[in-house]
Amino acid sequence: MSIPTISAVIGSGSMGPGIAALLARYGSQVRLNDISEEALARAEQVCAGATKALDALDVPVVPGGSVTFELDQATALDGASLIIEAIPERIDLKKTVLQQIEAVVAEDAIIATNTSGIPISDMAVAMAHPERFIGMHWSNPPHLIPMIELIKGDRTTDEVQDTLIEIVEAFGYEAVVEKEKAGFIENRVLYAVLRECLALLEEGVATQRDLDTCVKWGVGYKLAVIGPMRLVDMAGLDIYEAVASYLNSDLSNETGVSELVTRLTKDKKLGMKTGQGLYEYNNGEVAEKRADIVQGLITVRKALSAIKPV
């Protein structure tokens, strides 16, 4: 299965431009759609940055690929055989846009959603053809993280899933096939880690920086190579059972949101976007940190790609 000749990405927020840049890199004519010229102007800049990152990764260029930036949704959808919806995480808005998409595209076009956790079946209830609708959750930044979660709804066909697996593998990514579960695998695991880290921060067990260092080198470094299930085997199930028998009951079981996060959000301290969150950022530091993160992801991906999978 080759990359679709024409594809459409609906929504140019944090994920859309990177998705578009990657698909174009592999030869697809991508139409990126949003509702304002300002949003598309920002998307064009982000897309250019994503292309530079792909250059740094030495990702091959397949002839014929391009990205155009479209205000008119119908123009963006014309002729597309793969449509990726990447609009904000509001189920009412997604349902409306999905109906708009269905009214325009061909009956055999695949419609995918980049939702980070809304159940696929819930979004599909108002669709005329839910059998060709599927979850396609990219990890941010999508042009750098070579893994995509594929989630069938209760009426998605196996054929649609199989086709999308082939497409994902055609641009060198790993397709993770999973059953429908709120949040999906990646976010469920990530939010479990974040919940524990925020609880430890609020208890005064460690600083933000020390928590980041411990997870980066003590957890992330190992898991990037081994994976959690293989790690349990490596350590020994008897060891895991012994430690879990006393540790699990002491882990955070907070079912709400961290009070610290709620307080900072109320004070409009939202992180890098406002210059202050769990860390404070001086003038120019946000751009510097973002650049360092991108370069770090490029370096780590190159290193991981060079080793044999464990």
The pLDDT of residue 1 is: 55
Q: Can you identify the CATH homologous superfamily of domain 194-306?
A: N-(1-d-carboxylethyl)-l-norvaline Dehydrogenase; domain 2 (1.10.1040.10)
Is residue 253 within a helix (H) or strand (E), and if so which, with residue range? Answer: none
The pLDDT of residue 108 is: 93
Name 77's Cβ contacts closer than 8 Å, sequence gap at least 6. 8, 10, 31, 33, 83, 101, 104, 105
Question: Where do you find CATH 3.40.50.720 in the chain?
Answer: 6-182
Per-residue pLDDT of the chain (310 residues; tens, 9 = 90+): 579 999 999 999 999 999 999 999 999 999 999 999 999 999 999 999 999 999 999 999 999 999 999 999 999 999 999 999 999 999 999 999 999 999 999 999 999 999 998 999 999 998 999 999 999 999 999 999 999 999 999 999 999 999 999 999 999 999 999 999 989 999 999 999 999 999 999 999 999 999 999 999 999 999 999 999 999 999 999 999 999 999 999 999 999 999 999 999 999 999 999 999 999 999 889 999 999 999 999 999 999 999 988 8
Could you give the 3-state DSSP secondary structure of residue 10?
strand
Name 303's Cβ contacts closer than 8 Å, sequence gap at least 6. none
Is residue 31 within a helix (H) or strand (E), and if so which, with residue range? Answer: strand 29-33
Q: What is the tens place of the pLDDT at every residue in 253-269?
A: 999 999 999 999 999 99
The pLDDT of residue 126 is: 86
Burial 242-271 (b: 16+ CB within 10 A, else e): eeeeeeeeeeeeeeeebeebeebeeeeeee
Question: Where do you find CATH 1.10.1040.10 in the chain?
Answer: 194-306
Average per-residue pLDDT for the chain: 96
The pLDDT of residue 104 is: 94
Q: Give domain 6-182's CATH architecture.
A: 3-Layer(aba) Sandwich (3.40)
